[in-house]
Structure 1
Amino acid sequence: MKKVIPVSNKKELANFIDFPHELHKNDPNYVPELFIAQRDILTTHPFHKHSSLQTFLAYDGDKIVGRICAILNNNHNKFNGTNDGFFGFFDCINDQETANLLINTAIDWLKEKKVVKIIGPVNPSTNETCGLLIKGFDSPPMVMMTYNPPYYVDLLEKAGFKKQVDLLAWHWDKTSYNDKSVQLLDKLQDRLKRSDVLIRKVNLKKFKEEAAALREVYNTAWDKNMGFFPMTNEEFDYTAKDLKMILDPDFCLLAEQHGKIVGFGVAIPDVNQVLIKIKKGRLLPTGLFKLLFGKSKIKGIRIMLLGVIDGYRKMGIEAVLYGNIIKEYRRKGLEYAEASWTLEHNDMVNRAIEAIGGDQYKTYRLYEKAI
């Protein structure tokens, strides 16, 4: 007899976080999320100061067979003038009945909040990990990107979900950034200089001031993107503090004109190369050593943030930021890079990535369903 229960104590929360490890233990591309990070985002993250969520576990007898999180994102609805609900942290055995039970439970919780549509997966918003992998199952996910087996697509679509939008991931290897790309980059940089737009590295000694300026750009550069809502100061600072621990200033570039930051690009080391070896995402007793000693062996980066404020787009700043990061990763002898994610209809950015040799190799999808 299958049933779904709300998570209501620490033990159940631990079971919720650990369930994917057991489900995907035989999948060589599965990367465990850090337990402490998952626990924090579900309980103490600044997101909870403006919004709410409820986690659920599905059981078949005494065995956990699925999980889901129902999410009411008040800031999203206020900013976009919508009345949407969300779901995330979705993991399930390959069984439609179980998937339907989980989804209907999340919908029932959201109906009580008077929402008219459910969107996902988001964990717990588009400012964190989001999207269901629908293309590119043959390699592990990059840092802070989602992963799921192919059958999840059928589970959601047979439950009545339709595509809302696709999110694209782009890949470079050692050879894909060619002389033509370098020549294009040089021409674009010369053009920017004539407009007094300079590209510089982040100043870690003034990180607090730099982060405040980046927050302003982030919250304006994405304002027309589907599903976007601005981060609160606390949310941005929370993310910036985490990223600073692994940030290489060579991969954090700012576009500046007359002292004003008008765009930025941030790439971080692909620590998933290490996390994939940390059992159940536990840093203790041995995972911390694997993380510390493995960092020096990381051979890839993910360009995870890139934005240019309105009025400075179409100048080539996006291509220059991407290009300089890719140029730097090659100089450092790294083997691969990913830019993710970009919206499928963001032609300007997608063309800039293609121009410098990016290969669109993974696709993630946000789904929606009227309720």
Structure 2
Amino acid sequence: MAIEIRRALSRAELSSFIKFPYHLYKNHPYWVPPLLIEQKDLVDVKRNPFYKHSEAEFYLAYKDGQVVGRIAAILNHNHNKFHNENIGFFGFFDCVDDKDVAFKLFETVENWARRKGLDEIRGPVNPSTNDSCGILIDGFDKSPCIMMPYNYEYYPKLCESYGFEKARDLYSYYISQEMLTPKVMQRLEHGVELVLKRRNATIRPVDLKNFDEEVKKVKEIYNNAWSKNWGFVPLTDDEINHIAKGLKQIVIPEIALFAEVDGKPIGFSLSVPDINQALKGLNGRLLPFGIFKLMRNMKKITMIRVLIMGLIHEYRLSGIDAAFYYYTIKNGIAKGYSEAELGWVLEDNEPMKRVAENIGSVPYKKYRIYTKKLG
């Protein structure tokens, strides 16, 4: 049957766009259905602050009257301005195992990018590198952590067959309480004490009672600490407030940490419970009874994800990042968590990879962001 690509414009079409993965991965043992309300927010061009500075179009692929794929074409103006580039992105890519369908979707984004006069397409980003991004290429036998993607093993082949090449690989590291021997923890504690004393630095938990002020400090640190990272795009005030509002409900102060020198914030580390462990079986819905199951499941979470960790430029390579890891591990264990995912980490971020490996964590998942030049 012929493959038809339609732009998702109506409420019903956008609903099909959002819900397609729930059908594609139905009963999959490792895929975790994200909350539908959060997926709607990611494509809401009227309310999500990302679309105040950028634009996107959403497309569905049909075959024999059935939805068999989806993709978004994205123009992130803030990215292009910050990096002095002229590129577009694709995101929200999901597809049946059919090369013809995938090629039609990729071709749609490529043609859209050409009409915009762009030089390259890169992705997936959903809708930016500040959200989930990349295609899983290693680690298919494990469920994704919060705000990380999951896909079938045939996805990389579909991308590469079309002509996409690797732009960057992203790593996630794993560590468990069992992997942390007393000797490792003693060595880490001793090293952290020396570093903090030498730098006159302290580590403190986030103050939820002054949440708005804390968020302002996070923004200043974030837009400084990550500014030289590949793919980084500064967050606007609206964006960081939007993200903070969504995460506030699951923030645990003991694993959301500031580093300060003489009372001045110079670094931030945010770890959150892996709520994906609690979302299994809800099929993305909290109502009418999902909320009660979620509350029960939250008590069974064993994993945390180290979501972001960074220091302003003058304190990079100072060793304070090891202090973040130490207190996250120590406080996380005290709160009842027994394992953690650290990441993602760029493949060429050697300092962060070295710190992760020095505490005993191991790379256990790999994601890839693809690129294609438009000659």
TM range (shorter): over 0.9
What is residue 222 of structure 1 aligned with on the other side? 226
SS in structure 1 of the partner of residue 172 of structure 2 = strand
Residues 318-346 of structure 1: per-residue CA shift (max 9 Å, x gap): 11101211122223332211011111111
Aligned partners of 2:18 and 2:302: how far apart in 1? 28
1:264 aligned onto 2:271: no
Shift of 1:146: 0.5
User: What is the 5 A alignment of 1:178-327?
Assistant: 178-182=181-185, 183-279=187-283, 281-327=284-330
- 2:134 pairs with 131, 141, 156, which one? 131
Q: Find the counterpart in structure 2 of residue 357 from structure 1.
A: 360
**How far apart, CA to CA, are the structure 1 residues paired with 2:99 and 2:217?**
47
Residues 99-138 of structure 1 show CA distances to partners (whole Å, capped at 9, x for unaligned) of 0000001111122211110000000000000011011011
Q: What displacement does 1:188 show?
A: 2.4
Could you tell me which amino acid in structure 2 is paired with residue 295 of structure 1? M
Would you say the 8 A contact 2:22–2:33 is kept in 1? yes
Q: SS of 1:369's equivalent?
A: strand
1:88 aligned partner, one-letter code: G
CA shift at 1:205, angstroms? 0.9
Worse overlay, 160-169 or 330-339? 330-339
Choose which of 342, 351, 368 in structure 2 pairs with 1:339: 342
Q: Superposed, which structure 2 residues align to 1:169-184 within 5 Å?
A: 169-182=172-185, 183-184=187-188
Write the distance in 2 (CA, Å) between the matches of 1:349 and 1:185.
Answer: 18
Which residue is 2:87 aligned to? 84
Counterpart residue identity of residue 256, structure 1: E
In structure 2, the residue corresponding to 1:53 is in which secondary structure? Answer: strand
- Please identify, of 94-103 and 183-192, the stretch whose mean Cα deviation from structure 2 is larger: 183-192
Whole-angstrom CA distance in 2 between matches of 1:181 and 1:235 = 39
Letter paired with 1:290: K
Asked whether the 8 Å contact 2:195–2:320 carries over to 1, the reply is no
Displacement of 1:211 in angstroms is 0.8
1:49 aligns with 2:52: yes
Query: Displacement, 1:176?
Result: 1.3
Q: How far is 1:40 from its partner?
A: 1.3
CA contact (8 A) 1:185 1:319 kept: no
Q: Which runs of 4+ in 1 moved over 4 A?
A: none
Give the C-alpha shift of residue 41 in structure 1. Answer: 1.5
For the residue of structure 1 that corresponds to 2:178, the secondary structure is coil
User: What number of residue pairs does the alignment pair up?
Assistant: 370
Cα-to-partner distance string for 1:35-57 (whole Å, 9 max, x where unaligned):
11111111121001000000000
Q: Is the 8 A contact 1:192 1:315 kept in 2?
A: no
- Alignment-derived partner of residue 11 in structure 1: 12
Residue in 1 aligned with 2:33? Answer: 32
Structure 2 gaps, min length 5:
none
SS state of the match for residue 169, structure 1?
A: strand
Gaps of 5+ in 1: none
Given residue 321 of structure 1, which amino acid in structure 2 is its aligned partner? Answer: F
Deviation (angstroms), 1:186? 2.4
Task: Report what 1:111 is aligned to.
Answer: 114
Q: Percent identity?
A: 45
Give the aligned residue type for 2:74: I
Cα distance in 2 between the residues matched to 1:274 and 1:45: 25
The residue type equivalent to 1:26 in the other structure is: N
* Mapped contact 1:167–1:343 kept (Cα < 8 A): yes
Q: Take 2:366 and 2:189, find their aligned partners in 1: how far apart are those partners?
A: 26
RMSD (Å) for aligned C-alpha atoms: 1.0
Confirm or deny: 8 A CA contact 1:58 1:64 kept in the other structure.
yes
What is the CA deviation profile of residues 164-210 of structure 1, one whole-angstrom value per residue up to 9, with x for unaligned ones? 00111010112112233321232223222232111111111111111
| Letter aligned with residue 15 of structure 2 | A
SS in 2 for 1:256: strand
SS at match of 2:210: helix
**8 Å CA contact 2:146, 2:305 repeated in 1:** yes
TM-score w.r.t. the length of structure 1 is: 0.98
Give the CA deviation at 1:351. Answer: 0.5
Structure 2 CA distance, aligned partners of 1:366 and 1:161?
Answer: 9
The CA deviation at 1:219 is: 0.7
> How far apart in 2 are the matches of 1:293 and 1:276?
12
Amino acid at match of 2:24: L
Counterpart amino acid of residue 279 in structure 2: L
Conserved 8 A contact 1:178-1:357: no
Moved more, 88-97 or 105-114: 105-114
Partner SS state of residue 345, structure 1:
coil
- Decide whether the 8 Å contact of 1:268 with 1:303 is kept in 2: yes
Counterpart mapping for 1:150-169 below 5 A: 150-169=153-172
Query: 2:236 is aligned with what amino acid?
Result: T
